[in-house]
Structure 1
Amino acid sequence: MPRKDVSFKTSDGLTLKGWFFTPESSSSKLPCLVMAHGWSALKEMDLDAFAEHFTSKLAISCLVYDNRCFGDSEGEPRHEIIPALQQADYSDAITYAQSRDEVNPDKIGIWGSSYSGGHVLLVGAVDRRVKSVLSQAPLTDGWANFNRLIRCDFAPGLNQMFQQDRLARMAGEKPMTIPVVHENPMETSALPTPDSYTFFSEWEKKSNWKNEVTVKSVELLRGNDPSHHIHHIAPTPLLMTVAESDVLTPTDIALEAYSRAREPKQLHIIPGGHFDAYTGSNFERNAGCQTEFLKKTLCS
């Protein structure tokens, strides 16, 4: 499918860079699906596969971009994740999509996965321009997720690290960082699960992804509660995709959030763990369900 390199400005002046996908041919203004990746991930890490799938099956366009401070997008310090800013960037991406001649400004959907799967729940609730929300394997409750991932005897050491980082920043020093993943889940990392290490270490070999995130990013994860307003998404349609054996954004935490959403909503449970939505037959099952949802809610 045709793909163009694009860039747009955020409300605080950063340039975010990405791709704009369209079908092979179209004679009318198209709905647009705005897409960004999850925790530290880059657009090259399979977002093109989803966008190409959607634009090959539907009369739809897709705006895919790198989050601020990552990949091709601007932002300092590098590899810092501030949830509120990433959420605000979704709304700026919507504005950019609406400004494009190819796009029907009244038919905008948002798609997110993992950390951004949580972002779209909040944005879908508070930005009423959104007409369809697709949330894949989302982080819905940072407090619960943090305390599920981090052993209780490790938490005091992390709290001390958060304090040291804040003091160092105030003194003008560079932000402290930790690895996103580590081969040994007992070592300090942001995502201490074996499947996280497998997924990211493979992409490290074939992309510009860096195994680094700021300590502040981890501290802010704990306070990020993107599903707080999930019941306010309605009457905008919501599709939540949940992996039945997810240990990174645990299945039960996501299902609890889904239970608080109001109709119209749809739940799709896929086999496997957190990263299985991107691969093999699961990708076809997952993207196929999302395509049908877009067909009904955004492309009708």
Structure 2
Amino acid sequence: MGRQNIEFKNSDGVTLRGWFYTPENAGGGKLPTLVMAHGFTALKEMTLDFYAEHFSSAIPINCLVYDHRGFGESDHVPGQPRGEIVPNLQISDYSDAITYASTRPEVDKDKIGVWGTSYSGGHVLVVAAVDRRVKVVLSQGPCVSGWDNFHRLVRPDIIPQLEELFNSNRIARSQGKEPAYLPIVHQDTFGTCALNGKDVYDFFMEWEKKSTWENRVTVRTMESFRGYEPQHLIEKISPTPLLLTVPTLDTLTPPDLSLAAYARAREPKELSLLPGGHFDSYAGKITEDNVARQIAFLKKWLVE
């Protein structure tokens, strides 16, 4: 299994950077390819290498892994801030990554799939519905409803002050001032941040020590999050095969929301329930079992 650094430009002219994995003894032929990106503010180093290595080692498949615009090694639009997530732009970048992959000599352009986790687990539902080049979609611990997720993560008593922050930030940015930021996680359970919870705090603080991840995100990111509803297109994915992976103890992207969305999806579809929380899919025995299930799905629908 080999890995090379790659870069490509998206439709806005922004350079996105990542890795391209190829199986050993690929023989120079064209292979199926899986396009992969991480979730909310996360970087490719946060276990996407683990997934890609396992996929390309177990089955004859390439993996294209990249950082979202404005995060990690990828660039951002000049004049716009780093650390800002606009879901529709990240979704567009997925399709641009598919376009780039399709031009590579190692890639069978008729066998390209998408993989996403957490926030990007919602992105890939939209990509698969609207970009018919996608032949399989694997969505793991997805955010399927920004509105419902927002109102479960954010305490009701601080929503009015957040809404005032949204408004003042819009005015300031329209006047050319610097964008406002929020911490992504906060040590204080009652601290104002984008993502509350001990498990999410522990996950990101551990990666802050050993990566370039930064604990801040623009206020616009949170405003965009509340209006993001990838579940509305889940019925449109069919006939593209869907694997939805749901951690049953997830407190960040609640499993009942994912299961309700899965019930509306049409065949062919498969459901994988993981006995753990949101971040258990990134480490430990659960991760190994999860990878095996995803490999079986890829063998069934994309590789063979």
On whether the aligned pair clears a TM of 0.5, the verdict is: yes
> What CA deviation, in whole Å up to 9, does each residue of 1:81-127 have, x standing for no partner?
00000000000000000000000000000000000000000000000
Paired residue for 1:195, among 199, 205, 213? Answer: 199
> What CA deviation, in whole Å up to 9, does each residue of 1:221-244 have, x standing for no partner?
000001111011000000000000
- Distance in 1, matches of 2:97 and 2:232, equals 22
Return the offset for 1:171.
1.5
Aligned residue runs from structure 1 range 289-300, under 5 A: 289-300=293-304
Instruction: Tell me, yes or no, if structure 1 residue 56 matches structure 2 residue 69.
Output: no
Q: Which residue of 2 aligns with 1:22?
A: 22
Paired residue for 1:167, among 168, 171, 175? Answer: 171
Q: Which residue of 2 aligns with 1:36?
A: 37
- Distance in 2, matches of 1:198 and 1:251, equals 21
Gaps of 5+ in 1: none
Q: Which residue of 1 aligns with 2:11?
A: 11
Q: Which residue of 2 aligns with 1:217?
A: 221
- Distance in 2, matches of 1:147 and 1:215, equals 16
What percent of counterpart residues are identical? 58
- Distance in 2, matches of 1:11 and 1:55, equals 28
Aligned residue runs from structure 1 range 66-215, under 5 A: 66-75=67-76, 76-215=80-219
- Distance in 2, matches of 1:84 and 1:174, equals 22
Return the offset for 1:299.
0.0
> What CA deviation, in whole Å up to 9, does each residue of 1:230-286 have, x standing for no partner?
011000000000000111000101111111100000000001110000111011011
Q: TM-score, normalised by structure 1?
A: 0.99
- Distance in 2, matches of 1:157 and 1:257, equals 31
- Distance in 2, matches of 1:95 and 1:45, equals 24
Partner amino acid, structure 2, of 1:164: S
Return the offset for 1:153.
1.0
- Distance in 2, matches of 1:202 and 1:185, equals 18
Return the offset for 1:185.
2.3
Partner amino acid, structure 1, of 2:131: D
Partner amino acid, structure 2, of 1:4: Q
- Distance in 2, matches of 1:172 and 1:85, equals 21
Number of residue pairs the alignment of both structures matches: 300
- Distance in 2, matches of 1:227 and 1:69, equals 25
- Distance in 2, matches of 1:276 and 1:183, equals 20
- Distance in 1, matches of 2:152 and 2:192, equals 15
Return the offset for 1:189.
0.6
- Distance in 1, matches of 2:271 and 2:286, equals 15
Return the offset for 1:148.
0.8
Partner amino acid, structure 2, of 1:181: V
CA RMSD of aligned residues (A): 0.6
Partner amino acid, structure 2, of 1:66: D
- Distance in 2, matches of 1:278 and 1:37, equals 11
SS at 1:153's partner residue? helix
- Distance in 2, matches of 1:190 and 1:33, equals 30
SS at 2:271's partner residue? strand
Partner amino acid, structure 1, of 2:180: M
- Distance in 1, matches of 2:205 and 2:24, equals 34
Gaps of 5+ in 2: none
Return the offset for 1:21.
0.2
Aligned residue runs from structure 1 range 280-291, under 5 A: 280-291=284-295
Partner amino acid, structure 1, of 2:211: S
Partner amino acid, structure 1, of 2:236: H
> What CA deviation, in whole Å up to 9, does each residue of 1:190-224 have, x standing for no partner?
00111110100000000000001000000000000
- Distance in 2, matches of 1:48 and 1:227, equals 27
Return the offset for 1:156.
0.3
Partner amino acid, structure 1, of 2:234: I
